[in-house]
A and B are shown apart, each in its own frame.
Chain A
Amino acid sequence: MNPDGMSRRQLLRHTAWFGAAVGFAVAGGEVISHIAGAEAAEHAHAKPTLRFAQVSDSHIGFTGAPNPDVAGTFGHAIEQINNLGYTPDFVIHTGDLTHLSSPEQFDHVKQMMTGLKTPHVFTVPGEHDSVDDAGQKYRQAFGAGSVGDGWYSFDISGVHVIALVNTLNLRKLGHLGADQLAFVEKDVARLSSDTPIIVFSHIPLFAMYPQWGWGTDDATQALGYLRRFSSVTCLNGHVHQLFSKTEGNVTFYSGTTTAYPLPHPGDGPAPKPVTLPAGKLHDALGIREVSYTTGETTLALKEQRLQ
């Protein structure tokens, strides 16, 4: 026996404690997962009030090494949504439908989106959808039912949805403008405070990385009108990566893209398309399922990589 070391009995005792720690941790994890699963099953049993899918940043018309076939990957995303196992109440495309706003690109993406098996398809414009005409071609293609420069709202299954345009009048950051802020204020004035609110925009409504323009300079005012609501969920595109943030009653979720990844905030001098190693592109692309069950204060999100 080494007088400075551990006896065999001590070693066995510590091993037993270690085993117990691992065993307890695994068992505890199982119990928590089971409770979470049971809760989810209960919610699943009480069918979600609203289920929809989000796609973003298809950049139809983009050509380059980061993704030589953006139409192909967007087509995969559409197939994936059509095979969710249920019909989503609607599909939202959170902008940059096209890469350069040409009529051909708008025709192409619109034609592709007619393949979505859902009663409604909604969109908001990205800055790539208004590169040369302040969004005129976008509104001709997708602006039916919108007001102002393309913003709108609607009610579905007890949820109030607001689609905002923050890509026109771009300075460094996204911008909503006085007209749109007035629209938001008036739009929610009639709603009771327990109405769940979902807000779509292309550029984040939170300061995700202002140095790269990933934020909206007058979003605080718009969010101020939503402060009294118990549940506000903001979904955006633009940043080509998953990101989430909670500020008080508002939760922000940035979605990924179906085209090509961008670097993480601050990783490099500018947000330029990233070329991934062969076979890795689909891991960075994806779609998002969102569901809301009456009585819940938060929406359930499920991210899916592109298959």
Chain B
Amino acid sequence: MTLPSVLIRIGFATSLAASAICHAYLYVHGYQHIPSIGTAFLVQASVSFAIAALILVGGPGWLGWVGAATASGSLVAFALSRTVGVFGFSERGWDPSPYAAVSVGAEAVTVLLWAAVAARSFGLPRWPRAQGWPQKARRQTTSA
């Protein structure tokens, strides 16, 4: 595994874990009582933690897609909660501070990392394997 590959994995895992920690903290400290939002925070935190851990130990490329999808969904939900509301829930600005800002920043990093990997793979991102990263998408043809 090359250095860029390792760094990108660490970046993905760190940003996903940071977002997960924020959501888990808010869930434990009050958000669990908000209808629908509590469940959504729990799902976000647990999925992000799982994806972060698996990416760190060398998981396949589609984990990056799942991580990016989770981060994007969280960003969209954040934007909705500051405008029209989500399941009747809305907040203002960067409250609760600093968790809202940290979470949004981490999710933006996740999405940007995914975009960088996807761009280098000409729209077919594969997760960097032991051969090194970045690399173009290529199909393995090993026998079953």
Contacts and interface: CB of A to CB of B under 8 A. Distances in A.
Contacts of B29: 39, 298
B144 A21 contact: no
Given A14-B60, A20-B54, A26-B46, A243 B88 contact: yes
Nearest to B23: A32
B91 A245 contact: yes
A306 to B, nearest CB: 15
Interface string B75-104: 000000000010011111001100000000
The winner among B53, B59, B88 for most chain A CB atoms within 10 A is B88
A302 interface: yes
A246 B92 contact: yes
B35 interface: yes
Contact of A8 (B88, B95, B139, B144): B144
A220 B3 CA distance: 55
Interface string B6-27: 0000000000000010001001
A244 interface: yes
Interface string A1-43: 1011001111001100100111111111100110110011000
Given A1-B144, A298-B30, A300-B30, A28 B95 contact: no
A21 B90 contact: no
A236 interface: no
A75 B45 CA distance: 40
A24 B56 CA distance: 13
Interface string B113-144: 00000000000000000000000000111111
Contact of B50 (A9, A21, A301): A21
Interface residues of A, number: 40
B54 A17 contact: yes
A241 B53 CA distance: 40
A246 B30 contact: no
Contacts of A25: 46-47, 49-50
- Chain A interface secondary structure, helix, strand, loop or mixed? helix
B49 A33 contact: no
A11 B88 CA distance: 42
B112 interface: no
A14 B140 contact: no
B42 A21 contact: no
A39 B54 contact: no
Interface string A80-103: 000000000000000000000000
Contact of B27 (A3, A10, A20, A32): A32
Nearest to B87: A242
A21 B63 contact: yes
A248 interface: yes
Contacts of B51: 21
A14 B50 contact: no
A11 to B, nearest CB: 8
Nearest to B24: A32
Contact of B143 (A1, A22, A24, A245): A1
Contact of A35 (B28, B63, B88, B91): B28
Interface of A: 1, 3-4, 7-10, 13-14, 17, 20-29, 32-33, 35-36, 39-40, 241-248, 264, 298, 300-303
The 3 closest A-B pairs by CB, nearest first: A24-B50, A29-B46, A8-B144
Given A25-B49, A32-B24, 9 more contacts: A13-B60, A14-B60, A17-B54, A17-B63, A28-B20, A32-B42, A35-B24, A241-B88, A246-B92
19 contacts: A3-B139, A3-B141, A7-B144, A10-B140, A17-B54, A21-B54, A21-B66, A22-B50, A24-B49, A25-B46, A27-B50, A28-B49, A36-B28, A242-B88, A243-B85, A246-B96, A247-B92, A248-B92, A300-B30
